[in-house]
Amino acid sequence: MKPYLPHRSRPQWGLLQSLLLVGLIAFALATAARGDDDFKGVIGTTGKDSKPYYPPPVRPKQGSPNVVYLLLDDVGFSDLGCYGSEIQTPNIDRLAASGLRFNNFHTRAICSPTRAALLTGRNSHSVGMRTLANLTIGFPSGRGQVTHEAATIAEILHSAGYSTFAAGKWHLVPPRDTTPAGPFDQWPTRRGFDRYYGFLDGMTDQYHPELVQDNTRIDPPNRPGYHLTEDLVDHTIQFVRSQTAAAPDKPFFAYLALGTAHAPHQAPREYIDKYVPVFQKGWDRSREERFSRQKQLGIIPSDTVLPPRNPGVKPWDSLSTEEKELAVQLQAAFAGFLDHADVQIGRLVDFVAQVGRLDNTIFVVASDNGASQEGRLEGTLNEIGSLSHIPESVAENHKRLSDIGTDRSFSNYPLGWASVGNTPFRFYKTHPFGGGNNDPLIISWPKRIADKGAIRPQFVDVIDITPTILDVVGIAAPKVYRGVPQKPLEGASVAATFARADAPAPRTTQYFELHGNRAIWHDGWKAVAVHQSGADFENDRWHLFNLKEDFSESRDLAEENPQKVAELKEVWWREARKYGVLPLLDVNVLDPRSYPKEVQDLLARPTSHTYYPGQEHLPSSAAPPINGRSFSITVSVERPDARAEGVLVAQGEFSGGYVFYVKDGKLVFDYNDLGKHTVLTSDREVPLGKSTLSYVFTTTAERKGKGALFINETKVAEAGLALSPTRMISWEGFDVGRDSLSPVSSGYAGKGEFAFTPGALEKVLIKVERQSPAVPRSQASNTR
């Protein structure tokens, strides 16, 4: 198959287009003169011989419930208190106590596809989101955005008269389209939401987030003790408060997608400290205790078997003291992060109750995938380095225990704790086993769910949530939405489970595919194929589990029942063809340099970039692509006096990036290599008046090069640099004339964003080599 990569259209105006525009204007004026197409009155010469027409307002039926989708991130099946955890989540547990818990709920094992499936009620491949929104591939299943042929629940409910709000993580728009230039057609306010406040990409610093309000990038509030989760809940409460005051009888749909508990794990110190003694018993004992509690709670069958440790996870007792103390602190940060989020969720639930709307509000609480393996075996204090497979020293990280959970770390826990989070299942996020896609689901509706606190065992897929809501509110999915024919819903309602414990499951079959890994669930059986990068798909090994007898996928029956494997493989291929999964692709989503050439060309950014002071913060995906390439930065300034100083350009934050600035008269370039700084300082002062300031980096070998500073073309400093990250230098984006969020360098500590003297910075020119020969594509990391 050959991928098709559409080019962006660009306006080209000529005589024909101008005539067309004039014609359209004339048509519009004529239409306005004779009235709207749906006008049902009479227009005469005066009011006496005319009849007015007032179209009826669009309103949902009387008594329609409010709906809240509350989506957690990287929270495993056992991480909530009501699913067996020792982590305190009393407010989520309260929702479970007033509703139902499902123990057979399945997601797409990674964020963007799960979110696309949740909001549309269709399979992620069907709507164009086969993997992260960051990757665009030239097939309908891999556009990195949700097709307009699949209206979201927000679009459907909004058209039916609901108020609609979204707060938090979006991650449903290609990063190249998240700049202030758009296009905005995949941003929340163009996919059915009246209001939006949150972050567009996959993760963000909880203390220094990259925020968007509606369609505008904004700086986070500058207040002591700021934390993003609190801010997101504040805005959600304010959305509901304003809507309740203005239209108390109008129902609302709120989508609150927290960053919790995706890396970085950051929370107020008091939340972290209380979990240090809780987890000193280690991951082996914690996993066993959760498993026991799950049986006591009835969240898993009494005959469930706890599988052995996942491959590579060491026995807790074999760890050194330093390894244990580091691991405990990293897990405490995760637990504190989740505990803190639960407190904020409690504020939202309390507010909905305060305004008298809780009884008729449906809360859907879920996680987008299982606990994450991104912290690797020993955990990390720098997620960017971990994703690039840059080794970290346990001894060095141990010295930084007090940084964990603060804005001085971008931490994620070790695999041992991720295994605990996914109890009783094996493996992790992105895997086709239960640890990746069997996740918690709570549905609370006090007015309609009588069997409060009960557990439901029916197989439920994430595509079933939106059809369920449409079912209970009595709104049909449109066949045409805003002129676009719609794909049919592929999920099915589970509303029958609200009243009946023995209600049939909404489906007998569900396929899974992610990064070439595949799985099929059919009539209680599950087959799983794990794909090895570079191998022929036909040679992938299939595993087989009878989930009616083996809830935790602990016994592989493939060798003793090859006929069932063959049968399920055929079912998988049938479903794959039906839902647009094909072709299977062997692409590493985390490494753009491993993409096909056509995709790389589509994603390629210009080699020359000109910036001006006062522009909005740019996301990292739109920053000049300097990583692994030769590049230059040239800045035109005018220093009116010796006090003129500040940041010229900056990308990144405390854990990685670069910053070019003037301080105490000297020109400085600080390259922050995953927390290790190489600093060049000029041997003379920047002169007063006009001058040209430059930094030039030249690659000399893979991940190595030389940097030099110039003032008016005179070299004033030079040094060699090492370049550790292979994919990105930082998750945080790019600023001109300031360092707006987390500071890249401590060289201007205490000076805030250290904005350059107003009016003194004229423009910035950055030139980048398209591809440095020192870093060939063939040497790109192939981490999955």
Instruction: Please give the full DSSP string across 503-563, using - where no structure is assigned.
Output: PPPS-SEEEEEETTEEEEEETTEEEEEEPPTTS-GGGPEEEEEETTT-TT-----TTT-HH
Instruction: Please state, for a pLDDT cut of 90, what percent of the chain lies above it.
Output: 80
**Segments forming the whole domain that contains residue 641:** 605-779
Query: CA–CA separation, 460 vs 465, rounded Å?
Result: 8
Do 335 and 383 have their domain in common? yes
pLDDT at 511 over 80: yes
Which contiguous run of DSSP H or E holds residue 650? strand 646-653
Do 396 and 539 have their domain in common? no
Do 647 and 529 have their domain in common? no
Which contiguous run of DSSP H or E holds residue 157? helix 153-159
Do 481 and 520 have their domain in common? no
pLDDT at 772 over 80: no
Residue 57, judged by CB atoms within 10 A of its CB (0-12, 13-18, 19+), counts as: exposed
Q: Which residues have CB under 8 Å from 488's CB, separation 6+?
A: 477
Q: What total of structural domains would you count in the chain?
A: 3
Closest CA to 310 of 76, 513, 564: 76
Query: CA–CA separation, 360 vs 446, rounded Å?
Result: 7
Given strand 676-685, what is the order of strands in its sheet? Answer: 676-685, 666-673, 656-663, 646-653, 734-736
Query: Is 501 within 8 Å of 571 (Cβ atoms)?
Result: no
Do 491 and 622 have their domain in common? no
Backbone φ/ψ region at 750: left (φ over 0), alpha (ψ -120 to 50), beta:
left
Do 613 and 735 have their domain in common? yes
Mean pLDDT of the chain: 91
pLDDT at 723: 75
Do 196 and 304 have their domain in common? yes
CATH (domain of 513): 3.30.1120.10
Do 487 and 556 have their domain in common? no
Do 217 and 267 have their domain in common? yes
Strand 252-257 to 163-169 pairing? parallel
Distances (CA, A) of 112 to 121, 466, 469, 536, 553: 14, 16, 21, 26, 25
4 occurs within a structural domain:
no
pLDDT at 591: 59
Domain termination site, one of 563, 578, 593: 578
pLDDT at 509 over 50: yes
pLDDT at 399: 96
Query: CA–CA separation, 509 vs 522, rounded Å?
Result: 4
41 occurs within a structural domain:
no
- The predicted-structure confidence for 607-622, as pLDDT tens digits, reads as follows 889 999 999 999 988 8
- The predicted-structure confidence for 673-703, as pLDDT tens digits, reads as follows 888 899 999 999 999 999 999 999 999 888 7
416 occurs within a structural domain:
yes
pLDDT at 782: 29
Do 479 and 564 have their domain in common? no
Query: Is 373 within 8 Å of 380 (Cβ atoms)?
Result: no
553 occurs within a structural domain:
yes
Average pLDDT of the segment spanning 104-127: 98
pLDDT at 3: 63
Domain termination site, one of 443, 472, 498: 498
CATH (domain of 134): 3.40.720.10
Expressed in angstroms, the distance from the first to the final Cα of the chain is 23
Closest CA to 478 of 238, 155, 704: 155
Query: Is 630 within 8 Å of 699 (Cβ atoms)?
Result: yes
Domain termination site, one of 559, 578, 597: 578
Average pLDDT of the segment spanning 215-220: 94
Average pLDDT of the segment spanning 240-258: 96
Q: Which of 43-47, 389-393, 695-699 has the lowest mean pLDDT?
A: 389-393
Which contiguous run of DSSP H or E holds residue 127? helix 124-127
CATH (domain of 661): 2.60.120.200
597 occurs within a structural domain:
no
475 occurs within a structural domain:
yes
Do 565 and 612 have their domain in common? no
Q: What token pair was written down for 348?
A: 């939202």
- The predicted-structure confidence for 342-369, as pLDDT tens digits, reads as follows 999 999 999 999 999 999 999 999 999 9
Query: Is 523 within 8 Å of 568 (Cβ atoms)?
Result: no
Do 642 and 520 have their domain in common? no
598 occurs within a structural domain:
no
Closest CA to 783 of 295, 310, 279, 387: 387
Q: Which residues have CB under 8 Å from 538's CB, separation 6+?
A: none
Distances (CA, A) of 478 to 157, 158, 671: 11, 12, 53
pLDDT at 594: 57
423 occurs within a structural domain:
yes
Between helices 228-246 and 321-354, what is the axis angle to 10°?
A: 10
Average pLDDT of the segment spanning 192-197: 98
